[in-house]
Structure 1
Amino acid sequence: MKRFAGLFLGLLCAALLALPASAARGDYPQPTNDFFVNDFAGCLRADDAREMQARGEALYRATGAQAVVVTVESLDGASIEDYGYGLANEWGIGAEDRDSGVLLLLSTGDRQVRIEVGSGLEGQLTDGKTGRILDTYAMPYLQADDFSTGLLEAYKSIVNEVYLEFGLEPESGYEPVESGPEENENRTTVILAPISLVVILAVLVLLRRRGGFTGGGFYGGFTGGGFSGGGGFSGGGGGGFSGGGGGFSGGGSSRGF
């Protein structure tokens, strides 16, 4: 029994180690003090970045919701779904009591874009609707390598849709986006990682109760720091704006270009 449990535990640990680095360790950039616009890839024009920042601050003041733009050069081997989910939760985008956050993520090197939607906004920003926002407002520009305009236009649509969710008037002349067909996306890492952790911890507890792996060993390694360390879902750094502790459950849409 102990031999089987040890083998099972070893296989689960190996599976976790095989996860993309950013998904397994949470190696995400820290948000800037502006928080709403984080151009780590350096692909945004200054005037577009300022406009998105102003729109993000106005939305936050009016609703408490946070719409955040992040550009990176690489996803470090992770899928954009896993990267967006992990980053959005780590930064705590949106209000904690309403999970009212949205992440607009672009990887210039991987040529992928994603809208990650907080749990509290999934009724308004459905997967079908976020896909249509990307197709209508972002893709024509991204495919022409005009990343700045593509993100600005998609961001404006996202902000207006959030205003509608809160019963507020959108920008004059804005036509609400009709929801497209719902989209099913591959989230193997996001789904399996927490399940694997729970199973590992359950096996460790069982073995400990039966007298196996006492002392330091595996049990001490996993419960002190390591995978159970603090942080995780808290907001960004000091100064300026930061996340409000909002949560994400994987809603949204992605596109390659």
Structure 2
Amino acid sequence: LFTLLIFLSACKKDEYPRPTNAFYIKDFANILYEATRDSIRREGERLYESTQEETDGGAQLVIATFEVEQIDDIANYDKTDLYRQWRIGDDDMGILVIMFFKPYTENDIEYLELVETQVELGYRMEQYVSASQLGVIVDNTLYSDTWDDLDLAVMHMEYELLSAIYIDAYGYESFNYDMSVFEEYLINNPDTSYENPISMSWLIFLLSPFSTWGEKLSFAIPILLIFLIGGRAAINKGGGGSSGGAGIFRRRR
């Protein structure tokens, strides 16, 4: 009975998609180009690796997209819970950006429209980057009239968030990027084939640092009992951050 209770408790917590193997970009809405997803992944890996030896190192910036049928469905997603379940940032040095898209039809063609953006900050990251600062970055990039292409706006936001982390959290003098270079990269690298991101299998998830001890025990105890009576998977770079709910919300105006 005790084992069953642990198992049911673990299952109850698994309300959101488990982390994908591409840890830094979780494009569940399948709306970004391959070149954008690849750039976000590479920049995320570089940030994590280049800051590991710094004080409060191991920062992680994760971008996620979800498709919702109605705006009210966004209430089913809790950015703090997602941040914790995906275990973002070593020692709470993480930022999670979630973009919600809603389908609409025009001339018999279905499109996705960005309807809300949420940002979650890890506890320790709050010492260096404020929620209001992130709000300004989101407004000036993702919601700016500068770009008429979503991928360019998302990548501009990514670069500005990286700049804030490198400069404000780690004291870098600057973080330079060139949007024209990314735009050219986007044009020269069209999509080839892409499938919706697949969440980690239950077994790999249990063996990864993203699962809780309760979830691990829910799997290990029955196996141990079977062994007594009847005679590694690849791990991603999640650091295991928690969050106190600091963050921002932005609705499309």
1:230 and 2:214 equivalent?
A: yes
Distance in 1 (alpha carbons) for counterparts of 2:249 and 2:34? 25
The number of residue pairs the alignment matches comes to 173
Deviation at residue 134 of structure 1 after TM alignment = 0.8
In structure 2, the gaps of 5 or more residues are: 1-11, 52-57, 103-113, 179-211, 217-231
Partner residue, 1:223: none
> For the Cα contact (< 8 Å) 1:141–1:150, is it kept in 2?
no
Please point out which of 49, 59, 63 is paired with 1:65. 59
Deviation at residue 123 of structure 1 after TM alignment = 2.3
- Give the 3 Å change call, closer, same or farther, for CA 140–161 of structure 1 in structure 2: same
Summarize deviations over 1:131-154 as a string: whole Å, max 9, x none: 10111011126995x432222111
Amino acid at match of 1:147: L
Q: Point out 4+ residue stretches in structure 1 off by more than 3 angstroms.
A: 141-144
Greater Cα shift, 122-131 or 240-249: 240-249
What's the TM-score, normalizing by structure 2? 0.61
Deviation at residue 241 of structure 1 after TM alignment = 2.5
Distance in 2 (alpha carbons) for counterparts of 1:173 and 1:113? 23
Deviation at residue 106 of structure 1 after TM alignment = 0.5
In structure 1, the gaps of 5 or more residues are: 1-23, 175-227
Deviation at residue 114 of structure 1 after TM alignment = 1.4
- Across the aligned residues of Structure 1 and Structure 2, the Cα RMSD in angstroms comes to 3.0
Partner residue, 1:27: 15
Deviation at residue 173 of structure 1 after TM alignment = 6.7
Percentage identity across paired residues of the two chains: 27
> For the Cα contact (< 8 Å) 2:99–2:116, is it kept in 1?
yes
- Give the 3 Å change call, closer, same or farther, for CA 136–56 of structure 1 in structure 2: same
Partner residue, 2:43: 55
Amino acid at match of 2:131: D
Please point out which of 100, 112, 134 is paired with 1:107. 100
Partner residue, 1:157: 160
What's the TM-score, normalizing by structure 1? 0.60
Distance in 2 (alpha carbons) for counterparts of 1:79 and 1:170? 37
Deviation at residue 53 of structure 1 after TM alignment = 1.0
Q: Aligned to 1:34, what secondary structure does the other structure show?
A: coil
- Give the 3 Å change call, closer, same or farther, for CA 231–125 of structure 1 in structure 2: farther
Distance in 2 (alpha carbons) for counterparts of 1:169 and 1:60? 18
Summarize deviations over 1:231-254 as a string: whole Å, max 9, x none: 49xxxx953634211111111111
Please point out which of 80, 85, 97 is paired with 1:85. 80
